[in-house]
Structures are given as C-alpha cells and as structure tokens.
Structure 1
Amino acid sequence: MRMKAAPLVLALVLLGRPLAVRADEGAYVPETDPLVLKKLAAWQDWKFGFMAHWGPYSQWGVVESWSICSEDVPWCARPPGISYVDYKKKYEQLPLTFNPTKFDPDAWARAARDAGMRYVVFTTKHHDGFSMFDTRQTGYRITAPDVPFHTNPRANITKEVFDAFRAQGFGIGAYFSKADWHNSDYWAPEWATPTRNNNYDTRKYPKRWQRFVDFTHRQIGELTSQYGRIDILWLDAGWVNPHSHPHALAYSDEVPWPQDIDMPGLAALARRNQPGLIVVDRAVGGKYEDYRTPEQQVPDRPLPYPWETCMTMGDSWSYKPNDRYKSARELVHILVDVVAKGGNFLLNVGPDATGQLPKPALERMRDIGKWMKVNGGAIHASHPIAPYAEGKLRFTQLKDGSVNVIYLADEGEALPATITLKGLQMTPGSAARLLGSDARLTTTQKDGTTTIAIPQRATQPLAGAYAWTIRLTSVRR
C-alpha cells in the first residue's frame, strides 16, 4: 500500500494521514468481457469487504515492507542507531521466527461475516517479496523448510484463508504486489536500492527484466490455478507499469525506464484460469483497472466508474501494538458515506504475530455487525440516488425502487422527531418505516419537501444507534 498523492477530486478522511494513491491516473477504460461485467456487478452488490495485511513483519509490529525501502518518507522510517544494511538483513530473517500457531482463518471469516462483510482481499505477497502461499518459484515463502510454521497443517496460509472465507460465501480477492524487493531480478544485488523501483535500467538489461516478468507470471499462474475460485486479482505497486518518465529526478518515486510487467499477458493468463476474473491494476489506469481504489480516502462525490475505498481500521495497514482504532460509529458512518456515493468499502485489519485479529478490531467488527443486522438491507445490493446526501442524511436505493434515508447520528444523539427531505419526494401511496421498528411513520409533503414524523416509541428500541434508516417504498425526483 501507500502510493502517490491523489488529485483534489478526493477528500481525505483521516487528518494527518498522507494522501496515498493516484485514484484517476489516465482515463478509465470500461470492461467489455461479459463474464467480467457479470462479476463486477456482483462485486458492486457486496459493498463491504475485509482486508488483511499479514506477514512476518507482524512480529515486530512495524509497517509492512516499507521499512526496507530507502526512501526518505515517514512510512519508510527505521529505528535510530542501526544502519540500513543491518536493518534489512534482520528484516529478511523474520521468516525464520514466524510461527503463528493461533492462526484460525475460520474465526477470521466468522468475524467478517458477522460484521456484514461480503468479500475478502488477502495479501498473498507484499512488496518485501515474502510469499504467504506455497509458491514453487522462490524459497522466500511461508512453506519453506526454514520457516517454523511450515510443519503446521495450515502452513499454506493463502489457501487456508481463501477456503475459510469461501465456505462462508465470501467473494475472494488475492492481493499481489507486482514489485518484489527480495527478487534479485527486481532489486539487483550489484547496485544500491535507493527507491521502491527496480534498481537497473530495464532498457539496458532487458533479459534480466524479462526473467522478473516471467517469475511474476508464474506466481500469478499458481495463485489463479491452485487456490480454487478467485474473484479479484488486486495488484499493488502501481509504479510497476509500462510508462517511461524521462524527466524523473534522482531518489524520487519514479525512474526514467519502464517497468513493463506485460499486463496483457498476465491478465490473459489469470483469466484463462479464472474466467470473469476482476483485475485491479491499481493506480495505473487503462484496460486492466476494472475498478479504482482510493486509499484512505472517500470521494467528495460519486465517481463515474466502479470504485472501492480501501482503508485501515487503525493507523497502520499491518499489525501495530496499541494502534489507534477508529470507533465503530466512525466506521459505520464511513461505510454509509461510501455506499451512498456508489462505492465499496474495503476495511483492513492487521493480524498479530500469533495469527489472531487484535481484540479492539474484533470488538469493532462485532459492533458494526449489530448495526448491520438492522440496517444491512440499506447497504448490500444498493446503488446511489441523487442527491446522495443532505446534511446528516445519506441515501441509497434498492433494486425494487425503494429508497433508504440514513441519518448519521452523533454520540449520544437521539433521532429527531421529524426529518425533512428536500431532494426526494414520496410518490402517492408510498409508505415510510424505520428499520428495526414496527411503529408507523407519518409523512406530509408541501412545497417540494417531504416531512417524516417519527414517534418517540419508534426510536426507543434503537437508542444509541450509530445511524438510523428510514425506508421509503417509492420516490420521485
């Protein structure tokens, strides 16, 4: 994760966090494959997903991969008093002590299901190159003989995660970093590694680069042919792309030469194995970015293409002791805001070194789940409807034409006795009801506005909710 700053079309949700991804680099190219379009439509109905960044780095509680990148940016910082070379050697030895014996993917899947999530995206390989699956292409993998966990019946972690979530009816997404900082054909040991990019000119050493491309395609071939049904190939490291940057500055996050991973060939390979596969070559744009992924951000308005906000529950993508987790109320409000604008919300949790989801994360997932049991029908399989938002109200529409009016409540706030809608009017004979209550709501319409009266007894069973949903059976605009 963590990429270049986005244009101002996106509004940053988290104060103090760096903008992290180009969300609209290049024109969006609509998909034409009927099988992919069918899968993409299903994905848009899922709305709420679970993401997990996990690897040997969880033992240290440090940022995933980035501390071995030599860029001078905050998320690459290393502890004082140790040289870069010594730190990198110690980091690369972390697999030798990685033994997450409390790893229980079924528990992860149950927690995500109970939170109302419908799909998972798991880090099969991050930028550091450590494969969390039983690849045959490298010894730097979870099932290697020198990794303590390799004797565990659940050692092939990616397979276990996919199987567990698939059994709970989830869509399956494979996160995969196109960069591989452990591979000697990406970060060649002959030269220094000043940035996230490969450290040699691919035009000067085309055979070496081709070896890396072939290696990457073989790993994608394994993931898409040996791990059951996969719905999403979620490719990170957007700087690995065919573009040249002739005016790139030294030590910047760009290099003059292209890093062409042969996306046409890679996508064709993956879709031969997984027909209809959604491919997300994130932050690159073009034909192989079926949906876009604003990172740690929510657009300030609906976007004209499929999109997904990916966001951390805490401050960090990977496990961090005493991380600062967002409240369940804040997360519900973000979910509602994203969905009202037509997006999906992919919420990340970093499992700890033992393989468990941190207690604060589980608590928030349980609390979100309680809200979703009452209000999930306003989220799943919905689509946006103008005006999308009015003050503290957000709107979604279901396929039967009914409209959900969702009121985002502050801490300790009670649902108002009346709610006035300016952008929506109910059609004659339309009814209004408060989800979670059987009480009748009365409505009046005057001068283009609709007023909904909510009796106090209707709100009592729902006191303290993060948000309330009023469903209108039909509206006109």
Structure 2
Amino acid sequence: MRRLILLGIVAWMAALPVHGQDNLHRQSTVYEWPADTQVRQKLEHWRDQKFGMIIHWGLYAVPGIIESWELCSEDWISRDSTITYDAYKQWYWGLKKDFNPTQFNPDQWAQAAKDAGMRYVVFTTKHHDGFNMFDTRQTDFKITSGPFANHPKANVAKYVFESFRRQGFMIGAYYSKPDWHSEYFWWPRYATPDRNVNYDIRKNPWRWNKFKQFAYNQIDELMHDYGAIDILWLDGGWVRPLETVNDEVRAWGAAIPPWSQDVDIPRIATMARAAQPGLLIVDRTVHGPYENYQTPEQHIPATKLDHPWESCITLGGAWGHVPNDKYKSAAKVIHTLAEVVAKGGSLLLGVGPTPEGTLRQEQIDRLKDIGAWLTRNGAAIYDTRPAEHYQSDKTYFTTNAGGKLFAIACLPEGTPVPRTVSWKGNLPRKGTRMTLLGTGATVKWSARDDVVTVSVPSSVAREYTPALAFAYETGK
C-alpha cells in the first residue's frame, strides 16, 4: 500500500506546478524602525552584506516536492484524487523513516555560498510540516530521532551554522510559526481545512497556550544551544495577532479565522535578545517592531524603498530540492542582484540540497559563476546604498560612504559586449576619472543632453560578461 501511494504521488508531482502563487508571502507596506540601538547597529551591518543564501531542507526533499505545502488542504493544492487526504498525511509523516542523508556536507554548502560571494545564510530549522532539523527536546519529530540519529552530524542545524560561521557569514535561523504536526496546532480531533490552527482558540485557550509554550521553548533552544545567531527569520505570517490583520492581509486571499493566532512574539523577542543581543527578528508581514526588515517573496519591489528589505527568490523553480529543476542563469541572478541593491534591498537566494545532503554540481557551478562576477565588481554591490537616481533602463546605480557612484549596466544575456554603453542621468563630475571595476582600467566617457556614453575597452568587448560596473564621482 505504501509503495502504491508513493507511485501515485510521484505521478501526480510530474504535473504539478513547481511553486504555487497562493503560498507566497506578500510585502508589508508599513515599516517601523527598531528602537534598540544594538538592533539598529546589526541591521545596518546586515544591509551592507547584500547577498545571502536561504536553505530549505527537510522531509520534502525525499520525494522532491514543494516543501511541506502538500499537507495543506487548500484549493491551490493538487493531489492525486485516488489518494485520500489522511493517507497522504500518513505517507508524508512516514518520510521520517526514509530521510537518511548520509552524505550530509554542510562544508560544501558553505564553500559554495562563499564562492558565490554571499555573506549571510538563513537555514530552515523547521518548516510548516513541523519536522525539526535540530535536536529539539519538545518533540520526537526531528532529524535526530530516525535513521540519521547515530550520524556524527545528526544535529543538522548545529553543523550548518558552524560551517557557515567558519566562512564568516552572518547566521540566520528560519523557524515556522505554524506547526502542522503539533497536536496543539492541528488538533487530531478535527479536520485540517487550511493552513491555520484547526480549532477555535477562544473555546480552547489551554490548547493554544500549550502551543505558544511549545514555540517559545523551541526558539529558546535555538537561541541558547546553537552559538551566535544574527537573524531569527519567522515564517508563516498568517499566524499573527488578529488586530494586525488589515485590508492588506485580507487581500492575500488566504483564509483568516475570527480569532487571534498570537504566539506572543514580544515575549519570544525578549528571551531571544537576552541570549543574542542585537538579534534581528523578521516576523514576516507582521508590520511593527518585530519585522526588522521586509521580505517580498519571488519578486522585486517596483521602486526604491528607503527602509530595510530583502527579496527572497529561488535559484530554481522551488525552494527545496525538486528533481530536474531548472536553474536561473548566473546572468539572471546578477541582474536581479543589481536591481535589488539599487532599490535598497538585499537578495536572499533559495537553494535546496538533495535528500542525500549535498548540493548538485549544477547549483555549485551556477553559484561559482555568480561569484566570479562579484569578485571583480563587488565594490558596486557590498557596503552600498541606493543613489537618489537609482535606475536608467537596465543600468542601476549605487553609492558608497565615500561618495563614489557606481553604474551597473546589465547587458543582454548571451550577446557580445557592446563597444559603448549609455545611461541617462547621474552625470560624472567634469574632468573626473571613470574606472571599469572589472579591470580597474580608466575608460573614456562623454556627456550630452543628460546622457552619459562610455567607451568599453576592446579587450573587454571581446569577452562576455553579464554586466559592466563603472565607478566615478558626480557633481560639478
């Protein structure tokens, strides 16, 4: 029976869209700067990093499906109609017995991220399915209570964080506020019609208080037992105080129960920051003092934003491992990074390891190509802020603390480098020296009618590059 269920699910997966739109987190339109001085300092340091990796890895890697969303019974989810919902859930929970990533290699992940030019990481300690990738004491539904339990690196999160720390990364712990495996969130007494808690919290306060304590205890473990943590990245924005549900949230289209799903983030934050001073807390889409930066998902804001934000975007079509996934080109990622940074944000690129615990060579190669460009042009990305005039068609502008301006001209993918590039606005100061970051060479430029034209050295024009970055000073 188990084999028949698996075969049916695999067949269904082949026809499934890789990423459903209904589970994307939209972006808040309200931002509140943190009052804590240490948090503000860390936030500015994080804004200098610009490029990070988010790693989704859990039970869903075994069959290669879109994270844990298939457990959620909503209209946008498709499942094989010959498989009952209960049978599907039992099959999914049972993947715990199959998840044995004996090739788990966090050093490989960290090196690939380093080679890509990334500077911070967010690792999924627990997704919505409730399967824990750390040795929590609150439940046995975890990586350290299964076939991987006796592996020397069974406490996965610990070794992921250690590997990335050795490479100098800021460390982020992703944690899902909803937990579909917990009987205190999805009570087995009732059906599970959607992503929300499946009982009336107002009538069952004891049960909800048990869940709040469960979440508090798990985050307490992460904050106290896993070394220095810079970011607590809280997913599941529908789990929120009822008073924060506004028209913006209703516009998402997801079901909203008439009771508050408040897990008491202020209490959690007080404990977490006592253990990790200056900790950034990212309570996604719950605008207020605990959304220290915003996280638009799978898209870039239309205009420059003056407050902290990051676009979280996948390298392939899904957050986690999916067989035969199609990865974005290095040029596409570089162009995305340039636009994001010019608009004041950071790029958090999603990469999913295989069920064996390694990255695929295609992922590693793609990351290395991105890093090769950043090695030569990183001054236009790292430690910068947006210019007042931040975009001219496909040319994006950033500036550094010293007042230097950078123009990043994104070139059509796969075409020869042109002999000249032009943009409108941000005229160089008269007589200033303009350099090409990739080589350090001085380049000739001219300005007429608010249009700057730069001559590209012939040696550069003979080679393909996804973008050219120029440095110069503006003004009279």
Q: Tell me, yes or no, whether TM beats 0.5.
A: yes
- Equivalent residues in 2 for 1:441-452, closer than 5 Å: 441-452=443-454
Corresponding letter in the other structure for 2:28: D
| Shift, 1:268, TM fit | 0.7
In structure 1, the residue matched to 2:9 is none
TM-superposition CA deviations, 1:116-148 (whole Å, max 9, x none): 00000000000000110010011111111xx01
In structure 1, the residue matched to 2:149 is 150
Corresponding letter in the other structure for 1:354: E
In structure 2, the residue matched to 1:21 is 25
User: Which residue of 308, 312, 316 corresponds with 1:314?
Assistant: 316
Separation in 1 of the partners of 2:230 and 2:316? 26
Corresponding letter in the other structure for 2:85: Y
TM-superposition CA deviations, 1:137-170 (whole Å, max 9, x none): 11111111xx010100000000000000001000
Q: What SS does the aligned partner of 1:151 have? A: coil
TM-superposition CA deviations, 1:23-64 (whole Å, max 9, x none): 015x21111111000110010000000111000221101111
Separation in 1 of the partners of 2:18 and 2:339? 17
Separation in 1 of the partners of 2:40 and 2:182? 35
Separation in 1 of the partners of 2:202 and 2:307? 34
In structure 2, the residue matched to 1:211 is 210
Separation in 1 of the partners of 2:217 and 2:444? 62
Distance 1:396 1:252, change over 3 A: closer
Indicate if the aligned counterparts of 1:386 and 1:423 stay in contact, CA closer than 8 A: no
Taking only aligned residues, the RMSD between alpha carbons, in angstroms, comes to 2.1
| Shift, 1:305, TM fit | 1.4
Corresponding letter in the other structure for 2:65: V
User: Which residue of 398, 411, 419 corresponds with 2:400?
Assistant: 398
In structure 1, the residue matched to 2:75 is 72
Confirm whether residue 113 of structure 1 aligns to residue 114 of structure 2: yes
TM-superposition CA deviations, 1:2-27 (whole Å, max 9, x none): xxxxxxxxxxxx999627222015x2
* Identity value in percent: 46
Corresponding letter in the other structure for 2:69: W
| Shift, 1:430, TM fit | 1.9
| Shift, 1:407, TM fit | 1.1
In structure 2, the residue matched to 1:10 is none
Deviates more, 1:180-189 or 1:367-376: 367-376
In structure 2, the residue matched to 1:6 is none
Q: What SS does the aligned partner of 2:347 have? A: strand
Confirm whether residue 378 of structure 1 aligns to residue 377 of structure 2: no
Q: Aligned residues, how many?
A: 455
In structure 1, the residue matched to 2:287 is 285
| Shift, 1:447, TM fit | 4.0
**TM norm structure 1:** 0.91
| Shift, 1:293, TM fit | 0.2
Corresponding letter in the other structure for 1:161: V
Corresponding letter in the other structure for 1:308: E
Corresponding letter in the other structure for 1:24: S
In structure 2, the residue matched to 1:333 is 335
| Shift, 1:201, TM fit | 1.1
Indicate if the aligned counterparts of 1:434 and 1:458 stay in contact, CA closer than 8 A: no
Corresponding letter in the other structure for 2:114: R
Corresponding letter in the other structure for 2:57: W
Deviates more, 1:101-110 or 1:437-446: 437-446
Indicate if the aligned counterparts of 2:113 and 2:367 stay in contact, CA closer than 8 A: yes
In structure 2, the residue matched to 1:90 is 91
Give unpaired runs (5+ residues) of structure 1.
1-13
Corresponding letter in the other structure for 2:41: K
Separation in 2 of the partners of 1:260 and 1:16? 28
Q: What SS does the aligned partner of 1:271 have? A: helix
Q: What SS does the aligned partner of 1:425 have? A: coil
Corresponding letter in the other structure for 1:62: I
In structure 1, the residue matched to 2:416 is 414
- Equivalent residues in 2 for 1:201-350, closer than 5 Å: 201-243=200-242, 253-350=255-352
User: Which residue of 48, 53, 58 corresponds with 2:56?
Assistant: 53
| Shift, 1:85, TM fit | 0.2
In structure 2, the residue matched to 1:467 is 467
Corresponding letter in the other structure for 1:383: R
Separation in 1 of the partners of 2:456 and 2:88? 61
Indicate if the aligned counterparts of 2:18 and 2:317 stay in contact, CA closer than 8 A: no
In structure 2, the residue matched to 1:7 is none
In structure 1, the residue matched to 2:188 is 189
Q: What SS does the aligned partner of 2:124 have? A: strand
| Shift, 1:433, TM fit | 1.1
Separation in 1 of the partners of 2:355 and 2:234? 24
Separation in 2 of the partners of 1:178 and 1:150? 25
Separation in 2 of the partners of 1:15 and 1:466? 27
In structure 1, the residue matched to 2:46 is 43
Separation in 2 of the partners of 1:89 and 1:389? 51
Q: What SS does the aligned partner of 1:299 have? A: coil
In structure 2, the residue matched to 1:102 is 103
Separation in 1 of the partners of 2:386 and 2:296? 18
Q: What SS does the aligned partner of 1:149 have? A: coil
Deviates more, 1:358-367 or 1:157-166: 358-367
Separation in 2 of the partners of 1:148 and 1:320? 22
Separation in 2 of the partners of 1:270 and 1:384? 32
Separation in 2 of the partners of 1:438 and 1:220? 47
Separation in 1 of the partners of 2:391 and 2:262? 42
Q: What SS does the aligned partner of 2:242 have? A: coil
| Shift, 1:207, TM fit | 1.2
Separation in 1 of the partners of 2:34 and 2:256? 28
Distance 1:16 1:173, change over 3 A: closer
| Shift, 1:228, TM fit | 0.4
**TM norm structure 2:** 0.92
Q: What SS does the aligned partner of 2:148 have? A: helix
Give unpaired runs (5+ residues) of structure 2.
1-16
TM-superposition CA deviations, 1:317-364 (whole Å, max 9, x none): 111000121111111111111111110000001111100112221121
Corresponding letter in the other structure for 2:55: A
